[in-house]
Amino acid sequence: MEMPFNTITDENITMILEFRRMFDSYNAELFVKNSDQDDLKKLEENVENMRKALGSSKDFRFYDNEFHDIIAKGTKNEIIIQISNVFVDVLLDLQSRIYSDYGTEEAVDQHELILKSIKSNNAELASIYSRMHIDNILKMY
């Protein structure tokens, strides 16, 4: 699967975020329904690591990207997993641009809300928080 762009522009960022708004929010719902305890443990550890990485943009971007990949894998849907695998590299490039404009502290708070919803087995709320997270970033573009 080839992406229709080679460089990150504001227009590409918008397209990627619009896709992520749909993709990530549905993945959060499916994660609640299909994940196991190992998946949840990985997600909890990831959020802890993300918070610890607030001073390091490279590490923070890695953990942010990993958060969404853990959720995708926890859906147990092979198509979603394959799309996520392709998207990982694109998102790392994108996140360096986004987090120069968007606060990492706010991003961690939003990821914690998604995690809290998942832990309370509330698929709808996890989906809503996922969309809100992307919507907040989309407002900048």
Query: DSSP character for 140?
Result: T
pLDDT at 133: 92
Please give the Cα distance from 57 to 44 (Å, whole number). Answer: 20
Distances (CA, A) of 100 to 13, 29, 53, 57, 89: 13, 29, 15, 9, 18
pLDDT at 139 over 90: no
Q: How confident is the model at residue 11 (pLDDT cuts 50, 70, 90)?
A: confident
pLDDT at 112 over 90: yes
pLDDT at 37: 98
Contacts of 115 (CB under 8 A, 6+ apart): 43, 44, 47
Token duo for residue 25: 């929010």
pLDDT at 104: 82
Token duo for residue 124: 């709808």
Token duo for residue 3: 């992406």
* All domains of the chain in start order, with CATH: 10-138 (1.20.120.530)
pLDDT tens by residue, 15-73: 888 999 999 999 999 999 999 999 999 999 999 999 999 888 788 888 998 999 999 99
Neighbours of 135 (CB within 10 A): 11
What does pTM read for this prediction? Answer: 0.89
pLDDT at 99: 65
Proportion of the chain above pLDDT 90, given as a percent: 59
- The dihedral of CA 38, 34, 88, 124: what is its sign? negative
